[in-house]
Amino acid sequence: DTWPDRRREGQGLIFSGDVGTGKTLVAAAIGGGLSDRGVGAALVNLTRFSAMMRDFDEAKSHMRRLKDVELLILDDFGQERATEWSASQLFDLIDARTQDKKPIVLTTNLGAKALEEHYARCLVNGKDHMPHEKAVLTVQRIISRLRQRNATVQFRGEDQRAADDSWLAGAERIGRVM
């Protein structure tokens, strides 16, 4: 219901919380609900984003679509095995969307400090060996932009996937057969 105002102001959401608390489900529901209303939305898991950017023939096209879509949902922020290059692509995407006031919904299991450490490590250990202080500053700048444009929603509770362990019985049977 608040989409027109959020779109105009470029405001999105950051869903933060433990594994299995429903962040991705709610983000996907928002994207689906807006799509049903004619709003262009894309959900991209960050592991998939890294793979998309490695396809050099299509990377530019993928990036253009992600920069242009009305609502971009970035799932599992900080969980991907990022390289210096993929982190820089991700930061470019976030920066471009922030400058263009295009909303992002972001899901993460990590807090700001853990995200800072994850991405700074990618930049420091990259082929350019960015100095630690510069890497941290780069990541802090991106996180600051995310905080500036997005309201944070903390998800709490038990892992809902673990609460229903009926799938485990089937997995155990398969394991014994093999």
156 three-class SS: coil
Distance CA 75, CA 110 (A): 12
pLDDT tens across 100-113, in order? 999 999 999 988 88
Q: Count of CB atoms within 10 A of residue 2's CB?
A: 8
pLDDT for position 141: 82
- Give one DSSP letter per residue of 95-132, joined into a string: HHHHHTT--EEEEESS-HHHHHHHHHHHHHTSTT---H
Question: Is residue 2 helix, strand or coil?
Answer: coil
What pLDDT was estimated at residue 174?
38
Give pLDDT, residue 72.
95
- The string of pLDDT tens digits covering residues 27-44 is 999 999 999 999 999 999
Q: Residue 28's pLDDT is what?
A: 92
Q: CA separation (Å) from 15 to 76, 109, 110, 160?
A: 10, 8, 10, 16
**How many C-beta neighbours within 10 Å does residue 19 have?**
12
What is the C-alpha separation between 1 and 161, in angstroms, rounded? 29
Quickly tell me which residue has 């997005």 as its tokens. Answer: 150
Which pLDDT does position 71 carry in this prediction?
Answer: 96
| Predicted model pTM | 0.81
In the prediction, which pLDDT does 38 show? 94
Question: What pLDDT digit, counting tens, does each position of 146-171 carry?
Answer: 888 888 899 988 877 666 655 444 43
pLDDT at 21 over 80: yes
